[in-house]
Amino acid sequence: MADQESPRVLRLTFEFHVPLGLRTNIQGTRVKKASEAITSAVQALAGQVFPWASEMRVRHEWSYAWHDHQPEPITLPATDKNTPKT
């Protein structure tokens, strides 16, 4: 087992939020075109910024977040590694 490598994956997540109260019809074709444009831009940069990567996978979804819980930050205890020196 010592010779077996661990799989490594870098995951970056972007969320684009439509402001509450914005009354506009955001059509699926526009969402698809935006997703394709962002994917194309990332793909163009990938060889430069992630030269070790052999593939990329894109997940895109468009949904209504009726019950989306926005988590509050939880402050962790201060340590010498997470507290700036003053």
* DSSP annotation string for the chain: -TTPPPP----------PPTT------HHHHHHHHHHHHHHHHHHHHHH-TT-S-----------TT---PPP-PPPP-TTTS---
pLDDT for position 57:
93
pTM metric for this prediction: 0.66
Q: Is the dihedral of CA 30, 31, 36, 38 positive or negative?
A: positive
For residue 44, report the phi and psi dihedrals to the nearest 5 degrees: -65, -35
pLDDT score of 1 = 55
pLDDT surpassing 80 at residue 7: yes
The pLDDT value given to residue 37: 96
Which 8-state DSSP code applies to residue 58? -
Q: What is the pLDDT of residues 27-80, one digit of tens each?
A: 889 899 999 999 999 999 999 999 999 999 999 888 888 877 777 878 888 888
Supply the pLDDT for residue 48.
94
pLDDT band at 18 (very low <50, low <70, confident <90, very high): confident
